[in-house]
Structure 1
Amino acid sequence: MYYQDLFTYMSNNLDYDIEFLQRKTYKEVNDLLINNKVDLAIICSGAYIDASVKDNIEILTVPVVDGKPFYQSFIIVNKDSKLEKFTDLKNKKFAFTDPISNTGTLYAKWLVKNMGENVDNYFSKTIYTYAHDISMQLVSKGIVDGASIDGLIFNYIKKHEPERIKNLKIIKKSELFGIPPVVIPNNLDYQLKSKLQKMFLNIHKDSLGKSILNKISIDKFIIGKDINYNNIRIMNSQIN
């Protein structure tokens, strides 16, 4: 709902009609970018470093949350379980989000690989939920034993809907990763690119824009640095 407020703000600020497209998988969104079906997207950091789009997109801006353009993956379990560390999840049921999600899949697979274990048989069962909040729900209800999720989403729900995470506990947090960026096709019209970038970089400076950002827990947008995603690239290369 609050992202709709952002799109309305963008439309009014840029004097463009904004059409919002949503897809189930991160790959489908990447395909939209590759095929120039969208002019702009907010994508997962894992989707950003995916080989399929590396020559087709560029960072326009990145959000700053709690004073930094970084985020973490959280490994969560049910608070009533006796699971206290990641290795306790061996031979347990585990939920990933999207196959190319950084916080929802890559990080957990890297942990397994880094222990010298085989990802394919480390857990007794794995599923892909395609949504971090669904992964949290499955852990909360005891349908799976653990999950790897986006710390930004966990913290947002903790702040605004704490009842939804009352049955969860975090047993491991990742290092800092570059935050999910706002990206554009690298052949986007230069004037449109400049207008979009200016709008994002200044949205926090007016009262309406600031109130919209507050609702989605974003401080502001800044110019992003590709180097901030190198640790995800390294992790991904070690898995694959």
Structure 2
Amino acid sequence: MRRSSFPAVLAAAAVVLAALTVLLAACGGGQNTAGSEPKKLVVGLVPSQEAENLDAKAKPLADLLSEKLGVPVEVFVGSDYTAVIEGMGAGQVDIGFLNPKGYVTAKEKGYADVLLKAVRNGSDTYRAQIVVAHDSPIRAIADLKGKKIAYVDPQSTSGYVYPVVLLKKNGIDPEKDVTMVEAGGHDKTILALLRGDVDAAFSFDDARTIVQKADPAVMDKTRILAYTDPIPNDTVSVRTNLPNEWKDKIKQAFLDIAQDEKGKQVIRDIYNHEGYAPAQDSDFDVVREADRLLNQ
């Protein structure tokens, strides 16, 4: 697959993890050991929008969690999904808002257990979409052959995994037939499309709303080419070696916050969550199957 900005993940892994450890130590991470009572909790998030905006929106959630759990809670906004996953593996991040693919990866590594799935629009599933310009000659997925496509991150379920599987199911070889451009955020894939940098964009349904402030006419300038199969919503996950008592406390804290009017607004502001539903690992077997198809 031709990627014009794909990171050298393996070569940079040691550097990223070292930098992550320094960053999280500065915000209080790394104080908890396996099976011990946490002295402080760190919540890890991945930006689907500008990181500084997410950091500010997440601070009220940290305050609510701290009030309910009785320990200080701080926020870490990772540069990408891998930063939060590796932070959990290193014991530096205790609670992760992991996307489905990110959770599956973290679970396979033994880093995370899932507690809850987000609810949006009354559902605990969502879809990915492929977006093109309104006046684009691209009318079918087959027309994407030879085109340039913006994606979010290789660990993004809706911004990479499911749309690429959809391409493969429609006869597009992602290794040979398209050029993939890593944008780093769902808003950024749409913005790249609006600038004319790419011919199509992968994102969650409907990420166009988060760029309406930047371009109020985005809905008129673009259209949805295709949707993917349903995907389990993103998760509230915790590091595996957190004591079970604390896993239960954290789960209940999120459920309580989602029932409170102030709390509802806070979680809506961060990722547009309406509430949370109980989750189990088997809920994400469909994501594992998509990952298998991706790597065939």
Report the TM-score, using the length of structure 2 for normalisation: 0.74
Q: Write the mapping of 1:1-240 to structure 2, written as runs, cut at 5 A.
A: 1-50=56-105, 53-123=108-178, 125-151=179-205, 153-155=207-209, 163=216, 165-166=218-219, 167-216=221-270, 217-240=272-295
SS in 1 for 2:181: strand
RMSD: 2.2
Shift of 1:218: 2.0
Q: Deviations over 1:86-141 (max 9, x none)?
A: 22211111111111211111122212322344211111x22111111111100011
Aligned 8 A contact 2:58 2:75 in 1: no
Query: With CA pairs under 8 Å and 6+ residues apart, which has the higher RCO, 1 or 2?
Result: 1
Shift of 1:214: 4.1
Inter-partner Cα distance in structure 1 for 2:242 and 2:107: 18
Residues 191 and 32 of structure 1, relative CA distance in 2, 3 Å threshold: same
Q: Deviations over 1:122-170 (max 9, x none)?
A: 11x2211111111110001111010111225445556x77716332211
Inter-partner Cα distance in structure 2 for 1:112 and 1:220: 32
Inter-partner Cα distance in structure 2 for 1:172 and 1:235: 17
More off after superposition, 25-34 vs 64-73: 25-34
Inter-partner Cα distance in structure 1 for 2:226 and 2:168: 16
Amino acid at match of 2:204: D
More off after superposition, 83-92 vs 46-55: 46-55
Q: Calculate percent identity across the aligned residue pairs.
A: 23
Inter-partner Cα distance in structure 2 for 1:115 and 1:165: 27
Residues 66 and 95 of structure 1, relative CA distance in 2, 3 Å threshold: same
Residues 21 and 211 of structure 1, relative CA distance in 2, 3 Å threshold: closer
SS in 2 for 1:120: coil
SS in 2 for 1:20: strand
Shift of 1:73: 0.4
SS in 2 for 1:59: strand
Residues 112 and 145 of structure 1, relative CA distance in 2, 3 Å threshold: same
Structure 1 segments of 4 or more deviating over 6 A? none
- Equivalent residues, number: 238
SS in 2 for 1:121: coil
Shift of 1:204: 2.5
Residues 204 and 120 of structure 1, relative CA distance in 2, 3 Å threshold: same
Inter-partner Cα distance in structure 2 for 1:16 and 1:83: 53
Inter-partner Cα distance in structure 2 for 1:142 and 1:199: 44
Inter-partner Cα distance in structure 2 for 1:195 and 1:103: 30
SS in 2 for 1:68: coil
Aligned 8 A contact 1:34 1:53 in 2: no
- Unaligned 5+ runs, structure 1: none
Inter-partner Cα distance in structure 2 for 1:178 and 1:54: 20
- Unaligned 5+ runs, structure 2: 1-55
Amino acid at match of 2:264: K
Inter-partner Cα distance in structure 2 for 1:6 and 1:168: 34
Report the TM-score, using the length of structure 1 for normalisation: 0.89
Residues 117 and 157 of structure 1, relative CA distance in 2, 3 Å threshold: closer
